Chain A
Amino acid sequence: NAGVMQNPRHLVRRRGQEARLRCSPMKGHSHVYWYRQLPEEGLKFMVYLQKENIIDESGMPKERFSAEFPKEGPSILRIQQVVRGDSAAYFCASSPQGSLNTEAFFGQGTRLTVV
């Protein structure tokens, strides 16, 4: 049973380009969470999704950022028109239930660098 898989591990984008980050949850997990870790800071919640539903996106910037978790395939975090301040590590976690009283397993993260 593979863990949470994120790809790519490293992504370099020029300012103004689009970044797409992928997350495949653990087998049997239908709840996905995205977190962002800015340099020298703790992880910050961005969005919580179930299959085909956004449950809570209160941590997501209002512009340029979007997330989806389709019926088939990985969850995608999409950042349009990237700026230098988007440079960060983006972590995805998954859990079998939405309550988070159960364990949440994190992926290895995608390190986005905007040049």
Chain B
Amino acid sequence: KNQVEQSPQSLIILEGKNCTLQCNYTVSPFSNLRWYKQDTGRGPVSLTIMTFSENTKSNGRYTATLDADTKQSSLHITASQLSDSASYICVVNPSSNTGKLIFGQGTTLQVKP
């Protein structure tokens, strides 16, 4: 069973609409949780990083939330643009002293005009 589960697997929305992506994790201990955006054929680019004490963090039109008690996170995208079409990946860092980031499989978002 994956330690980081994302839903939905894929999503199609119209330009200008909002959407919310979900992430459930079972990783413990837990140091921080990140959301990355990965364009096709490119490397992941960080959107937000949250420690367990943070509930929400924004980066422009991206807002991430974290509930460390229920081990759930979400990424909300506001006023979507065509350039938002990408894979969005939830990543958990289980410990502060390791390079072992644990990646979810991602949600593939397609924004249509």
Quick check: is A41 within 8 A (CB to CB) of the other chain?
yes
Residue B83, interface by CB 8 Å: no
Chain B, residue nearest A3 (CB): B43
A-B contact count (CB 8 A): 70
Question: B96 and A99: CB pair below 8 A?
Answer: yes
Stretch in contact with the other chain, from A12-20, A79-87, A103-111: A103-111
Residue B31 CB within 8 A of the other chain: yes
B32 within 8 A of A: yes
Number of interface residues of A (CB under 8 A): 30
Instruction: Report the count of interface residues on B (CB-CB < 8 A).
Output: 26
With a CB–CB cut-off of 8 A, which chain B residues contact A40?
105
Q: Nearest-CB distance from B71 to chain A (Å)?
A: 17
Q: Shortest distance in angstroms between B107's beta carbon and chain A's nearest beta carbon?
A: 11
Q: Is B35 an interface residue (CB 8 A)?
A: no
- Chain A interface (Cβ within 8 Å of chain B)? 4, 31, 33, 35, 40-45, 47-48, 55-56, 58-59, 91, 93, 98-101, 103-109, 111
Contact surface of B with A, Cβ cutoff 8 Å:
2, 4, 31-32, 36, 41-46, 49, 51, 89, 93, 96-106
